[in-house]
Amino acid sequence: MIDFPTNKFRIEEILLLNLVTTLSELKGVYLIKQLSVSTPGRICLFGEHQDYLQLPIIAGAISLRISIKGSKRTDRLIFIDLPDINKKESFAIKESQNYQNDHDYFRSVVTVLKRDGLTFSNGVNCTVQGEIPINAGTSSSSALIVAWINFMIKMSVQQPEFTAEKIAEIAYRAEVLEFNEAGGMMDQYSTAVGGIIGLKTFPKLNLKKFDVTLGNFVLANSGEPKDTQNILRRVKNGVLDIVKMLETTDENFSLQTVKINNIDDYKTKLTSEQIILLKGTIRNREITKQAEDLLQQPNFDHLHFGALLSEQHEILSGTLKISTPKIDRMIETALAKGALGAKINGSGGGGCMFAYAPDNAEEIKSALEVISKETFVVSIGEGTRED
């Protein structure tokens, strides 16, 4: 005989629980606390087009973030809602994931995590939303990948306690190596680790965290579309062709050690355009080294920092030719309004610029809003985290 409860409130509680459980099973969702993770975008302070050449960079995570919120399902399906771009993604967790395109990062992350020994008994329902300008040089793609890795690690059977550096390394494999893309490691490490970092990959990977407090920046999106991969290949291949040519006649030649004053010694081996490109690359390397020294000084010089930003932009615009007339005009506007320095951000060809404005960010933001519909005051932000 079944012993039914006599308390009518208990009966109602059981009936309600059964109803909710049935609805949950129909939807394929476990009733568990929703998980929420977020990851920042980033600005490249110094070293655009340097990291893939094994030259050092300095980057800063920003206060604009992308978040993923969701929970486990009872089946092995993944449903991703992306309302910011009016899209939805869905796929099943399988032994082998077949990529649908060259940017199929949701699947590639699952593939790389499984390769590293993680297993998934359940799929997920989740929503992705963000504040980071998309396809604008502020690392929205890498921030999404890092956030997705952080989210899926916590959804795995093992739930390992990976460091931010480990998450960054996984993100680099899932984004760059898995699809044979042209980028370096800056985006993955800066968004995962957060704060201000220096990254060197030669002769081995070395990550430095700078303990310095910077003021506000003004970030503005030109609205001009970027062709990141083609720009990366044009600049990267141009420099690598130079290196390959010089190494055949000078076994001691190295981008890490060559002095800018010695570049003219190669005039008989390079075209005038190649000499200019090589000088710009080495000058960019030297400015990054000056900035590294500056960021470690006990009395931080904000004026010098701003001047180095502007000096680097002159190289990026005039030598590497990755800026645009509109972005140059935005930079001129910010400097005229009192910014301490300003430069294009990221691979270039469009996208964002930023100005260092520790004292008058709102005034500069107002001036840039006349040119840019998407303008923000940002500060240096934390790395990827559970919210």
What is the tens place of the pLDDT at every residue in 187-200?
999 999 999 999 99
Q: How many CB atoms lie within 10 A of CB 90?
A: 12
Q: For residues 142 and 20, which has the higher predicted lDDT (pLDDT)?
A: 142
**From CA 25, how far away is CA 41, in angstroms rounded?**
37
CB-hemisphere CA count at 13 Å for 13? 7
Query: Is residue 58 very low, low, confident or very high in pLDDT (cuts 50, 70, 90)?
Result: very high
The pLDDT assigned to 227 comes to 73
Query: Is residue 311 very low, low, confident or very high in pLDDT (cuts 50, 70, 90)?
Result: very high
Going by C-beta distance under 8 Å and a sequence separation of 6 or more, which residues neighbour residue 315? 280, 283, 284, 287
User: Strands 374-378, 217-221: parallel, antiparallel or unpaired by DSSP?
Assistant: antiparallel
What domains are there in the chain, each with its CATH number?
A: 35-211 (3.30.230.10), 217-378 (3.30.70.890)
Query: Is residue 225 very low, low, confident or very high in pLDDT (cuts 50, 70, 90)?
Result: confident
CB of 171 closer than 8 Å to CB of 185: no
The pLDDT assigned to 341 comes to 98
| Full-model pTM | 0.88
| Residue 184 in tokens | 């370096």
| Residue 235 in tokens | 């600049």
What is the tens place of the pLDDT at every residue in 80-106?
999 999 999 999 999 888 999 999 999
**From CA 19, how far away is CA 23, in angstroms rounded?**
6
What is the tens place of the pLDDT at every residue in 321-353?
999 999 999 999 999 999 999 999 988 889 999
CB-hemisphere CA count at 13 Å for 299? 0
Query: Is residue 15 very low, low, confident or very high in pLDDT (cuts 50, 70, 90)?
Result: very low
Q: Which residue has the tokens 């030297």?
A: 286
For residue 307, pLDDT beyond 60: yes
What is the rounded average pLDDT of the residues 125-149? 96
The pLDDT assigned to 236 comes to 85
For residue 126, pLDDT beyond 60: yes
CA 336 vs. chain centroid, Å, equals 29
For residue 14, pLDDT beyond 70: no
| Residue 230 in tokens | 């083609």
The pLDDT assigned to 32 comes to 55
Query: Is residue 184 very low, low, confident or very high in pLDDT (cuts 50, 70, 90)?
Result: confident
At residue 133, what is the residue type? P
User: Strands 77-82, 124-130: parallel, antiparallel or unpaired by DSSP?
Assistant: parallel
Mean pLDDT rounded to a whole number for the chain: 91
> Maximum CA pair distance of the chain?
100
For residue 362, pLDDT beyond 70: yes
Out of 41-45, 249-253, 291-295, which region has the weakest mean confidence (pLDDT)?
A: 249-253
